[in-house]
Structure 1
Amino acid sequence: MGKFKIAHTMIRVLDLDHSLEFYKEALGFEEVKRRDEPKYEFTLVFLGDGSPNCHQLELTYNYGQGVPYDLGTAYGHLAVVVDDLETAHADHKAKGYNPTEPKGLSGDGKPRYYFITDPDGYKIEIIRN
């Protein structure tokens, strides 16, 4: 059997432009590629962190979706790492993303992560690198 590498994670979004703005502004993601399929009534936009061969986030926009998606109970969160947790937290707070307070699990009292929420309600964990 060959070696497997994770390629992307897909989430459905209600307002593609709003979601693109969020992921670019809040996390610095860049559009890697886009695929418009008017015949099948959807657009796919792949976002990455700028590094070569990075794991990508696929935003799927289905034409005519008039109501928010039900995220259900199976989805947990998307996680990203950042070198400077405190600066990222302050920036997210200043931009109105309502981050949770940073928390830690290691017992040393040092904050390790916090969460923000995207326009569709998906939770994003920001983790100290």
Structure 2
Amino acid sequence: MNEASGQFRMMHTMIRVLDLDKSIAFYTGLLGMTLLRRDDYPDGKFTNAFVGYGPEESDTVVELTHNWGREEPYEIGSGFGHLALGVTDIYAVCDALAQQGAKIPRPPGPMLHGTTHIAFIEDPDGYKIELIGLDTM
């Protein structure tokens, strides 16, 4: 462990979203996160919503940023990879997500060069979320 490791804590990842309500519904409804807070910034013309599986004080969360007046989808870019969530019974989780209308561009199955089972889903803005089968690691 290096000296700096005790000085830092991963707090959140921010993604820009076109329709904040749709994104909150996806992360809370389909992925079971909790809406931790939602703050409007009228002078900056944006709203931030924080979602996650635990409080911001102890858990890493996702910040959804909605810039007011934006009508065009964001370009995700070639540098962004994905968010990752661990799940138990990845096949049942993916079946349930599919029944709720989630996009699953990579169905669950073993990694190409490993035994861990993974899947990829997409949020309403096209951000990829990797699901990792915790029971297959």
Check 1:86–1:69 CA distance in 2 against 1; reply closer, same or farther (3 A cut).
Answer: same
Q: Determine the structure 2 residue equivalent to 1:33.
A: 37
Aligned mate of 1:12, from 16, 26, 30: 16
Shift of 1:107: 4.5
Structure 1 stretches of at least 4 aligned residues deviating more than 6 Å after TM superposition:
none
2:81 aligned partner, one-letter code: G
Shift of 1:18: 0.5
Mind listing any 5+ residue stretches in structure 2 that lack a counterpart? none
5 Å matches for 1:3-82? 3-50=7-54, 53-82=58-87
Distance 1:20 1:44 in 2: 11
Give the secondary-structure state (helix, strand or coil) at the position aligned to 2:108. Answer: coil
Q: Determine the structure 2 residue equivalent to 1:101.
A: 107
Shift of 1:90: 0.9
Check 1:70–1:88 CA distance in 2 against 1; reply closer, same or farther (3 A cut).
Answer: same
**TM-score, structure 1 as length reference:** 0.90
How many aligned positions are there?
127
Distance 1:94 1:25 in 2: 13
1:46 aligned partner, one-letter code: F
Q: Percent identity?
A: 42
Q: Determine the structure 2 residue equivalent to 1:118.
A: 123
Shift of 1:128: 1.0
Give the secondary-structure state (helix, strand or coil) at the position aligned to 2:78. Answer: coil
Shift of 1:93: 1.3
Distance 1:37 1:96 in 2: 32
2:9 aligned partner, one-letter code: K
**TM-score, structure 2 as length reference:** 0.85
Deviations for 1:77-99, whole angstroms, at most 9, x for unmatched residues? 11001122121011011112132
